[in-house]
């Protein structure tokens, strides 16, 4: 090949054997026979030109001449240029791995790198998918705050739409859009987007996981079971299944799923699992507490709190909820100092935690509805108001108001935690709560 390149680089010129030797073998010492054999091999490979002449002509005692027409074009891309093309793809793999840890620090670090990829290669749909995912996860880390990062959610929506536009056949783009649309409250569009991803690749477990996220009732159960069939160790799928059974108030299958999910959660955080979960011990503790297994519930909550230092995007929210649950259950035990400490720990992590604020007030006075309850989303506000009524002993009033709010809500998971909320404590007044729990159960079918 080096001999051929030397000849073609000087079409019509006679190159001596020494020139060809220098071009092909450089500093190596070879005989003239090496050139003869190389030219012979080239002639056999190239054959003859259309007019019957050879491509390479021999000039006795002078050298060789490439006599076919040669057309010069632009030089191929240099290795530097090729590196520039490959670099976004290499960076994408590293950044995707960072996102899959669900570590807040890793996501914060990956987001500007995705922005660089999008600027360098605007038409690269996977770059847009990565940036949209990073932004929506940044929003998720603040979603339960009084002032969540709505700007990140809006950026994510724009970028996810752009990813779908750049590559309509990208399942990753559609599932990301589904996640974002659900957070924006566009449930029907979210389900449609997740379903589109599955039409492109029904064997991708991440597509099924996102469908689990945006659906409810039997659809969520079916999607989560598909995730587990494809990837049995995904703890988030266990969480999604457990939420449906909690809303249905069928606690045995909920406990079965959640125990398996707890084992997966523990294993993911001690290994290198993708998309590690938190919250399984917290939810299992709520279910156990509602069944009267209070000591087991406290054990599960203690285990959940050990995950706070992992930096997971949901760790702060989950630990705040866990401390709230501890405070609420200690209050029911009459251990008021421990209850107060639990509520304070919840508020350290999330100062706007409505139920922790109400629980703390209930330890000293009859709580009223705080301003944040009126600013919250409708069902969340109704849950907070129901908690106020419940701790004041007005369970019938609480159940009626919350039931009406759930009926007005869009189809979905609104109010699903009610059966196991430790402050409202529906199990202590089953007659008052029967109708509202029936509404919730029917929505989860």
Give ∠ CA 164-167-169 in degrees, rounded to 5.
Answer: 95
Helix (H, G, I), strand (E, B) or coil at 95: helix
Is residue 140 in some structural domain? yes
Higher pLDDT: 53 or 76? It is 53
Report, as an integer, the average pLDDT of 321-341.
Answer: 97
Q: How confident is the model at residue 349 (pLDDT cuts 50, 70, 90)?
A: very high
Report, as an integer, the average pLDDT of 420-442.
Answer: 96
14: domain CATH number?
A: 1.10.10.10
Both 289 and 340 in a single domain?
Answer: yes
Both 223 and 268 in a single domain?
Answer: yes
Q: State the sign of the Cα–Cα–Cα–Cα dihedral 259, 262, 266, 269.
A: positive
Cα gap 312→268, rounded to integer Å: 12
Report, as an integer, the average pLDDT of 77-89.
Answer: 50
Q: Which domain holds residue 114?
A: 84-210
Is residue 240 in some structural domain? yes
Please enumerate in sequence order all residues whose Cβ is within 8 A of that of 6, keeping only pairs 6 or more positions apart, or say none: 15, 19, 20, 23, 24
Both 35 and 98 in a single domain?
Answer: no
Q: Please determine, for residue 377, whether its predicted confidence score (pLDDT) is greater than 60.
A: no
pLDDT at 436: 97
Burial zone of 219 (CB within 10 Å; 0-12 exposed, 13-18 middle, 19+ buried): middle
Both 338 and 395 in a single domain?
Answer: yes
Is residue 74 in some structural domain? no
pLDDT per residue over 197-218, tens digit each? Answer: 999 999 999 999 999 999 999 9
Ranking 209-213, 266-270, 340-344 by mean pLDDT, the lowest is 266-270
Both 200 and 228 in a single domain?
Answer: no
pLDDT at 34: 81
Please, what is the average pLDDT of the chain? 89
Higher pLDDT: 348 or 40? It is 348
pLDDT at 306: 96
Cα gap 39→24, rounded to integer Å: 12
Is residue 298 in some structural domain? yes
pLDDT at 241: 98
Report, as an integer, the average pLDDT of 330-347.
Answer: 97
Both 289 and 336 in a single domain?
Answer: yes
> For residue 225, what is the enclosing H or E element?
helix 217-230
Both 104 and 49 in a single domain?
Answer: no
Is residue 340 in some structural domain? yes
Helix (H, G, I), strand (E, B) or coil at 61: coil
Is residue 268 in some structural domain? yes
Both 253 and 140 in a single domain?
Answer: no
pLDDT per residue over 217-251, tens digit each? Answer: 999 999 999 999 999 999 999 999 999 999 999 99
Q: Which domain-ending residue is among 178, 210, 242?
A: 210
For residue 148, give the DSSP letter: -
Q: How confident is the model at residue 371 (pLDDT cuts 50, 70, 90)?
A: very low
Q: Which domain-ending residue is among 210, 237, 259?
A: 210
Domains of the chain: total: 3
Higher pLDDT: 15 or 28? It is 15
Both 203 and 230 in a single domain?
Answer: no
Q: How confident is the model at residue 375 (pLDDT cuts 50, 70, 90)?
A: very low
Is residue 178 in some structural domain? yes
Both 223 and 204 in a single domain?
Answer: no
Both 282 and 402 in a single domain?
Answer: yes
Cα gap 298→119, rounded to integer Å: 50
Q: Which domain-ending residue is among 192, 210, 228?
A: 210
Q: How confident is the model at residue 376 (pLDDT cuts 50, 70, 90)?
A: very low
Report, as an integer, the average pLDDT of 68-74.
Answer: 82
255: domain CATH number?
A: 1.25.40.10
Both 286 and 431 in a single domain?
Answer: yes
Q: How confident is the model at residue 166 (pLDDT cuts 50, 70, 90)?
A: very high
Burial zone of 96 (CB within 10 Å; 0-12 exposed, 13-18 middle, 19+ buried): middle
pLDDT per residue over 280-327, tens digit each? Answer: 999 999 999 999 999 999 999 999 999 999 899 999 999 999 999 999
Q: How confident is the model at residue 333 (pLDDT cuts 50, 70, 90)?
A: very high
Report, as an integer, the average pLDDT of 261-285.
Answer: 87
Q: How confident is the model at residue 59 (pLDDT cuts 50, 70, 90)?
A: very high
DSSP-assigned letters across all residues of 303-326: HHHTTGGG-BTTHHHHHHHHHHHH
Is residue 388 in some structural domain? yes
């Amino acid at each position: 090949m080096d001999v051929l390149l030397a000849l073609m680089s000087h079409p019509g010129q006679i190159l001596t054997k020494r020139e060809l030797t220098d071009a092909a073998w450089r500093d190596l010492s070879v005989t003239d026979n090496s050139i003869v054999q190389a030219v012979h091999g080239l002639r056999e490979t190239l054959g003859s030109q259309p007019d019957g002449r050879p491509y390479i002509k021999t000039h006795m005692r002078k050298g060789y001449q490439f006599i076919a027409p040669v057309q010069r074009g632009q030089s191929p891309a240099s290795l530097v240029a090729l590196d520039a093309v490959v670099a976004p793809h290499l960076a994408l793999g590293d950044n995707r791995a960072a996102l899959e840890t669900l570590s807040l620090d890793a996501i914060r670090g990956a987001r500007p790198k995705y922005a660089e990829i999008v600027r360098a290669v605007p038409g690269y749909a996977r770059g847009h998918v990565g940036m949209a995912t990073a932004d929506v996860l940044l929003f998720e880390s603040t979603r339960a705050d009084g002032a969540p990062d709505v700007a990140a959610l809006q950026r994510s929506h724009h970028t996810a739409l752009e990813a779908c536009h750049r590559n309509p056949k990208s399942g990753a783009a559609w599932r990301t859009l589904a996640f974002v649309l659900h957070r924006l409250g566009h449930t029907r569009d979210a389900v449609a987007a997740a379903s589109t991803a599955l039409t492109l690749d029904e064997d991708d477990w991440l597509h099924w996981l996102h469908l689990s996220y945006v659906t409810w009732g039997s659809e969520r159960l079916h999607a989560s079971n598909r995730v587990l069939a494809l990837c049995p160790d995904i703890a988030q799928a266990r969480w999604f299944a457990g939420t449906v059974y909690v809303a249905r108030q069928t606690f045995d299958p909920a406990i079965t799923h959640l125990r398996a999910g707890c084992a997966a959660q523990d294993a993911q955080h001690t290994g290198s699992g993708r998309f590690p979960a938190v919250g399984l011990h917290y939810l299992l503790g709520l279910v156990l507490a509602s069944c009267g297994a209070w000591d087991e519930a406290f054990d599960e909550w203690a285990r959940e709190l050990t995950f706070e230092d992992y930096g997971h995007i949901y760790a702060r929210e989950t630990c705040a909820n866990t401390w709230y649950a501890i405070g609420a259950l200690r209050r029911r035990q009459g251990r008021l100092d421990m209850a107060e400490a639990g509520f304070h720990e919840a508020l350290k992590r999330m100062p706007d935690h409505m139920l922790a604020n109400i629980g703390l007030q209930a330890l000293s006075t009859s709580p009223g509805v705080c301003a944040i309850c009126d600013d919250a989303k409708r069902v969340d506000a109704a849950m907070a108001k129901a908690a106020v009524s419940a701790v004041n002993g007005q369970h019938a009033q609480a159940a009626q108001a919350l039931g009406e709010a759930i009926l007005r809500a869009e189809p979905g998971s609104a109010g699903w935690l009610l059966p196991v909320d430790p402050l409202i404590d529906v199990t202590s007044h089953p007659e008052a709560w029967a109708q509202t729990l029936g509404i919730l159960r029917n929505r989860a079918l």
